[in-house]
Structure 1
């Protein structure tokens, strides 16, 4: 009706606007004109009206100004299996012989209702072999009816948008949107259109699509010449690529080749095979399983003849992992090249003579261990990323690097012969990330401090570097500074000016003895790591002025003796790691770390106690004191610590816990493994209402388990293995939700209380190695959850006949 006389429809709706409250459903709207004629605006309809529109085009809805939009998600498994079965079996669940086959269909369709209905109807009344045959065919030839419906959205695209869609289908599914935009002309607008039409989905910046949409797109590529892959515009299947190259079937139609060597057999690459592919734009040879890890060893590179050539006039993207020749072909053009990636290649130099690559933005030669020179970089004026990480034969960086005004990333990491950087590096006005890890640089050139846009500087494992200049503070936009594992690095410079952007500083594994008090000028520092700084003895008191510090890690600073007094509140510090230090005590001013959530003190062997002020850490969630072998006394908890959920005192020498442990009201996990001086638990333990896990294994002097005076409904796991308890109290029944009870090698245990059968949720009971256990109690009621019972190594002579009440027991040892 709309197509015949849309204006008549508009008049009818306007005529009734003051009288009707309507429910109007407009299905499958595909252009703005339809909406303008059928639902021009709010004023067309009476109060309380509801207008529901379904469309494949989000942009159309946005332009018309709909009040709210909702993206229909794919069906979940339960709804998918039900819809399939309604059409395949005329019931809601699969027939018994078809359960696995039905699951295969659901996994193939991935929640697309139309496909479930079409395939369900097609499979109705068919035998199991017919289902199996149909599924195999679907993998090779998608269902035409489903494909035709999906193709409606594709047909609504203009020519450029269709080409972008086919590029994504065949080459770029799972890629970052920005990478595709860089390589494909007009892709930024095109991707937005494809997303609006629901042909692709953007998860953050990652491009995804439904598998059936992907199959539809690939079928479009194959459609005109299904048996002649050499005439397809894009090649992605190793079998097809192998056929084209072996039979020399390639034509000028081929624009893209993406070859995964992990799923392909040996392929012969000859100049003749590529000769007619003159319009090749995108060329990628890669190992999805990892080039260095394929078959558990370094991948074999494709062997090419020395005179091998391939067309490059139209190339925008060349990615060839493991390229085996010493240079690119003599006829290599690269005029249109945007990204050149030759990771793990045998390249010694890129090409002979000079080439002007005005469009090139990314050059990645990482892992090319034979590379001994970088070409003159002034011929690549738009280069944004240069990565030569792991090029071990490279011993210098050409001074022409100074011409790269747009360079944002320079990675020289693991170039183990590079001793210096050229002074022209100061001209890299756009550089944001610089990696010089594992080089043999002895000193950073003063020119580096002119990199005013630098945000990340990584100098890890530069063994010859001893210090930094105080000029480092000139890097006003520096956010991350990594100096870890520089074994000769002795002195961190005075910070003469505020560095407002620095958020992360890593000095782990250096030999610094102290930090300057001027550390306070790193006002925005969030993460400070000093792991394994064995010469560090203390921190400056000014540390408390780092108001935005969230994480401080001093783990295994084995000579670190004193944690400074906290003179001011540090409201942002959430995580403090002091594992393996030699501190004897924490200052009472620890309470000023008001938002501390994680306090780690593992293997602090000189620590004997904690300050009573610890209870004022109201946001503390985890406290780990395991293997503090001289820790004797856990402090009284004078106030509720409502956030503490995890407490580990394993391997300490505490003799008892204070009765005030009950104030740890939300404690969920209490670890007391191998506390060999512990003889008992306080009776107040039962007041830990949220306790889920209690581990007392290896507490060899623990003689009694306390009476449980009230229900402990959350406790699910109790381990008393290796203790010297003689009996469990009958009040064990109040552990109503206990699922796992471990009593391994409790050699003094002689019997279990008869109330054990009241543990209705007990799934696992382990009494192995209880060498003096003589009797197993009568089971007076069903224990329906108990599945696993181990009585190995006990001295029981018989099991009671009431063992039959363990109806769901699956394992009896």
Structure 2
């Protein structure tokens, strides 16, 4: 609980919290955290509750405070409430206890605090139900001593018309069904907070004439609110006014003068057309949010907001002009005009806004910037993204504090300003602009870290010898007419990330010794052919000299054919992807150890085999060969990769054999391959053993997974299920079941996954997902807690994916039969379990073995 919140409540109950809390903190009985949270030891809390229980051990209705649901329910149901009750804090699952509470409150004449947590508010389904079940429109009685009312999701339409609000300090009724709090004027001299956030039925606010001390008025998300009482403008102590997302609010007030107001939020009042005049100086208002409104202009008196720091006008699509008086806001630091599509100009003397630190003009109709804007010496961020009509910048830029300049998408901007003096710019984004060259004075951006020129198709020459020593990230992808690459990179000794999309490297260079990321964009390759006629068939030799390179991706380079053995010179390479390079047929010999390469993606390539030297990739953890349909051979040397945990061979239809000693694998995917009868060194559990799980099924935690035909859309739902049986016939004797359970322990089975493609097969259905219909069904059975957890070796996952294709049906049968012949030799069980396989069950087995002792 926040200290301020607790203090406010205690003050409302006529206590003196500041002195008392200081004493308690001094005695270490309570603590106040750095973020203002008040904490109390559990024992101290329990001691306080026990003192209250002793007030009346047998009858809770005679105690001063009630907090447990059982006690409150007892008092309400037996109607034993008395005037002794001063505080109620209760959690109700539903709101149907209101009528009982209404009766009880009549006797609680000294009640000062009412805090009701309602988890679910179930509205009436019809008008008749509203009349019958929901007879109450308000509470008939509330104690005149009530100071704090907290009731989220309250079903009341209003509070009691007879409610004496004289002592009321705080009303918190968020997400309620209240339509109005009360009618007429009430004595509200102590009221400080009204929070009705999300009360979507609220239509109007009460009269605030007597609420002289109101500090916070929160009505955000009251979507039916169409009127705010005019007396709101006289609330001189109001600090926070939140009317955001009040979609029916068309007018606010003709004038405002709230001298204590610090935050005014009218954001997304989508039909609010006019902002009121500011009749007097409001120096404390620091945040004004008007984004998403329909206002067409700001009042000239905006300059009376002398303390304004943040002004957000984002997506005010009707706003056409800013008053010149706005430049008098010396305290303004953040101004957001993004999305004001009708705004054509920034004020001429905008340079006078000396406090401005961030200016956003994205997606406006601004055509040029006034010269004075370049004199904003404290401006740190300037964004003009997607300003399609912007064609020029000031001739020179003097913004010494500028750190970020974003001009991306300004498609008519064909010239960049001169930089007459050294600036501290860190990020410059000129993506998709029409500039043809950069000025040589760009060298004055001495601290530039990121420069993006993506899709600057008219850019021909980058100024040479500018020695941008701080530059770390450079993006020139899509700059199809750039001529002097890589010469202009000379001196960029800290460059770590380079993004481009065609082979423009023509010579070796030591310039790139620190480069750690090099990326070809998939979407750019077609544009290479279109714009330059160059087909990517191999990497330029300079790539192999990038000793600091960590990431190299060439996804879906359709013409890419080969790597050379020089790839082993990339000692820092940790990720290499050739996914989708359909012309790539031969993976090179690895002449030296590459210990840092952890992930290698060769999926959807045309390679026929892996070289025996693959064993030199000693750090390899993941090898992806998915849908390499020409792959016929994997060398035994792959078993020497002690770090290899994940091997994906799914869809390698010509691959019929695997090395047997893949003892360190954790995940092996062999669905859609030609592999038959594969049995790894580790213990392997197949469909033939499923029936024998029946006696241990209650010990197995099940996870149900519905697997659509599209393997990339897998929905997994947590739940519990027993093993599915096709019939109730006895398969094993009790003796056989007992011996098999011991065998399972010895094999350290951790996970068993089962799939079914039988239409109509009955498997546990999760209510959140509905019927699974004819989708393949997968069950994952975890045996944690059933097995010995001291094994040192992680389980191997052998995956045969679900499919109705005949080849995969045979593959599953082959796996099942292979194990049965070696471990069971019982002809009758073979027939039953193969028959079960033919009914559509697939196997996903996860098995543990031991790394040590030669197992």
TM-score between both structures, scaled by the size of structure 1: 0.68
Distance in 1, Cα, partners of 2:432 & 2:283: 43
SS at match of 1:184: helix
Does 1:667 pair with 2:495?
yes
Separation of aligned partners in 2, 1:583 and 1:459: 30
Residue 435 of structure 2 is aligned to residue 601 of structure 1 = no
Contact residue 574 and residue 597 of structure 2 kept, 8 A = yes
Deviation at 1:629, TM superposition (A): 4.8
Cα distance, 1:523 vs structure 2: 1.2
Partner residue of 1:741? 576
Q: Aligned pair 1:525/2:359, yes or no?
A: no
Could you report, residue by residue, the CA deviation over 1:100-140 in whole angstroms, capped at 9, with x for unpaired residues?
Answer: xxxxxxxxxxxxxxxxxxxxxxxxxxxxxxxxxxxxxxxxx
Instruction: State the match for 2:174 in structure 1.
Output: 343
Residues 1:478 and 2:308 aligned together: yes
TM-score (norm 2): 0.65
Say whether 1:613 aligns with 2:437: no
Q: 1:759 aligns with which of 594, 601, 611?
A: 594
CA gap 1:255/1:555 in 2 versus in 1, 3 angstroms: farther
Distance 1:305 1:419, change over 3 A: closer
Residues 43-68 of structure 1: CA deviation (Å, up to 9, x unaligned): xxxxxxxxxxxxxxxxxxxxxxxxxx
Cα distance in 2 between the residues matched to 1:333 and 1:349: 16
- Structure with greater contact order relative to length (CA < 8 Å, sep ≥ 6): 2
Secondary structure of the corresponding residue to residue 683 of structure 1? coil
1:692 aligns with 2:516: yes
Measured after TM superposition, the shift of residue 199 of structure 1 is 5.2
Change (3 A) 1:721 1:482: closer
Q: CA 1:711 to 1:682, structure 2 compared with 1: closer, same or farther past 3 Å?
A: closer
Select 2:400's aligned residue among 571, 588, 594. 571
Distance 1:454 1:655 in 2: 51
Instruction: Show the counterpart of 1:284.
Output: 115
Give the superposition deviation at 1:531. 1.9
Residue 502 (1) aligns with residue 327 (2): no
1:613-640: CA deviation from partner (whole Å, max 9, x where unpaired)? 3343232233333344555555535214
The whole-number CA distance in structure 1 between the counterparts of 2:176 and 2:204 is: 14
Match of 2:576, SS state, is: strand
Gaps of 5+ in 1: 1-171, 294-299
* 1:683 corresponding residue in structure 2: 508
Task: Tell me the SS of whatever aligns to 2:37.
Answer: strand
Superposition deviation, residue 325 in structure 1: 2.5
The answer for the alignment partner of 2:555 in structure 1 is 721
Distance verdict in 2 for CA 1:268–1:418, change over 3 Å: closer
Q: Describe the superposition over 1:342-386 as per-residue Cα deviations: whole angstroms up to 9, x where unpaired.
A: 333333332244321111111223443443443332211111222
Q: Give the CA deviation at 1:448.
A: 4.5
Would you say 1:801 and 2:629 are equivalent positions?
A: no
Give per-residue Cα distances to partners, 1:127-174, cap 9 Å, x unaligned: xxxxxxxxxxxxxxxxxxxxxxxxxxxxxxxxxxxxxxxxxxxxx2xx
- 1:543 is displaced (CA, Å) by 0.6
Contact 2:278 2:304 in 1 (8 A): no
* C-alpha distance in structure 1 between counterparts of 2:38 and 2:423, whole Å: 43
**1:648 matched to which residue of 2?**
475
Distance change in 2, residues 1:682/1:384 (3 Å): farther
Q: What is the number of equivalent residue pairs in this alignment?
A: 618
Show the counterpart of 1:325: 156
Q: How much has 1:214 moved relative to structure 2?
A: 3.9
CA contact (8 A) 2:609 2:634 kept: no
How much does 1:188 deviate? 3.6
1:405 Cα deviation from its structure 2 partner: 2.0
Say if 1:805 and 1:403 are closer, same or farther in 2 by CA, change over 3 A: same
Question: Per-residue deviation at 1:243?
Answer: 5.4
Hey, what's the Cα distance between the residues in 1 that align with 2:463 and 2:505?
17
Structure 1 residues 138-157: aligned runs within 5 Å: none
1:183 aligns with 2:17: no
Separation in 1 of the partners of 2:435 and 2:201? 53
For structure 2, the residue ranges without an aligned partner over 5 or more in a row are 124-129, 526-534, 650-855
Aligned-residue offset at 1:397: 3.5
1:742: Cα distance to partner?
0.6
Residue 194 (structure 1) shift: 4.8
Q: Deviations over 1:539-568 (max 9, x none)?
A: 111111211112212112222222222342
Alignment of 1:587 with 2:404, yes or no, is no
Deviations 1:318-348 (A, max 9, x none): 1222332332113422322211123333333
- C-alpha separation between the residues in 2 aligned to 1:354 and 1:227? 43
Once residues 545 and 640 of structure 1 are traced to their aligned partners in structure 2, the CA distance between those partners, rounded to angstroms, is 25
Structure 1 counterpart SS, 2:328: coil
Q: 1:266-281 counterparts in 2 under 5 A?
A: 267-270=97-100, 271-281=102-112
Structure number with the higher helix fraction is: 1
Closer, same or farther: CA 447–706 of 1 in aligned 2, 3 Å: closer
Displacement of 1:719 in angstroms is 0.9
| Deviation for aligned residue 1:524 | 0.4
Shift of 1:462: 3.0
Displacement of 1:487: 2.0
Residue in structure 1 matched with residue 603 of structure 2 by the alignment: 768
Q: How far is 1:718 from its partner?
A: 1.6
Residue 467 of structure 2 corresponds to which residue in structure 1?
A: 639
Q: Say yes or no: does 1:432 pair with 2:262.
A: yes
> What is the SS of the residue equivalent to 2:332?
coil
Contact 2:153 2:174 in 1 (8 A): yes
The residue number in structure 1 matching 2:539 is 705
Structure 1 residue 239 displacement after superposition: 6.0
Q: Is contact 2:302–2:326 with CA below 8 Å preserved after alignment?
A: no
